[in-house]
Amino acid sequence: MCNLYNITTNQEAIRAFTKAIDRLGNLEPSLNVYPDQMAPIVRNNGGEREAVMVRWGMPSSQKALFDAASKRADKLREKGKPVDFDHLLKHEPDRGTTNIRNTNSSHWKRWLSVENRCVVPITRFAEPDPASKPEGGATPNAWFAGDESEPLMFFAGIWVSQWESVRKVKDGLTRDDLFGFLTTEPNGVVGPIHPKAMPVILRESADVEMWLSAPWSEAKALQRPLPDDQLIQLDQRKLEP
Per residue in 12-69, pLDDT (tens digit) is 999 999 999 999 988 989 999 999 999 999 999 988 999 999 999 999 877 776 777 6
Phi, psi of 230 (to 5 degrees): -110, 15
Lowest mean pLDDT among 74-83, 107-116, 142-151, 205-214: 74-83
Strand partners, 49: 44
Greater model confidence, 133 or 230:
230
Q: What is the CA radius of gyration of the chain?
A: 19
% of the chain exceeding 90 in pLDDT: 68
Please tell me the distance from the alpha carbon of residue 130 to that of residue 141, in angstroms, as a whole number.
8
Pairing of strands 5-7, 124-128: antiparallel
Which amino acid type is present at position 22?
D
Position 240 pLDDT exceeds 60: no
As a whole number, mean pLDDT of residues 103-107 equals 94
Please tell me the distance from the alpha carbon of residue 162 to that of residue 155, in angstroms, as a whole number.
22
> By the 8 A CB rule, do 83 and 76 touch?
yes
Lowest mean pLDDT among 113-122, 129-138, 210-219: 129-138
Q: What pLDDT shows up at residue 237?
A: 66
Domain ranges of the chain: 5-59+94-238, 60-90
CATH 3.90.1680.20 fits domain 5-59+94-238: yes
pLDDT band for position 100 (cuts 50, 70, 90): very high
Q: What pLDDT shows up at residue 209?
A: 97
Rounded to the nearest angstrom, the gap between the alpha carbon of residue 185 and the centroid of all alpha carbons in its chain is 16
Greater model confidence, 132 or 23:
23
Give the range with max mean pLDDT: 58-62, 182-186, 237-241. Answer: 182-186
Output DSSP code: residue 58: B
If one counts every other C-beta atom within 10 angstroms of the C-beta of residue 213, the result is: 13
Q: What pLDDT shows up at residue 241?
A: 45
Q: What pLDDT shows up at residue 172?
A: 87
E strands, 71-152, are: 99-100, 117-122, 124-128, 141-145
pTM given for the model? 0.90
> By the 8 A CB rule, do 182 and 108 touch?
no
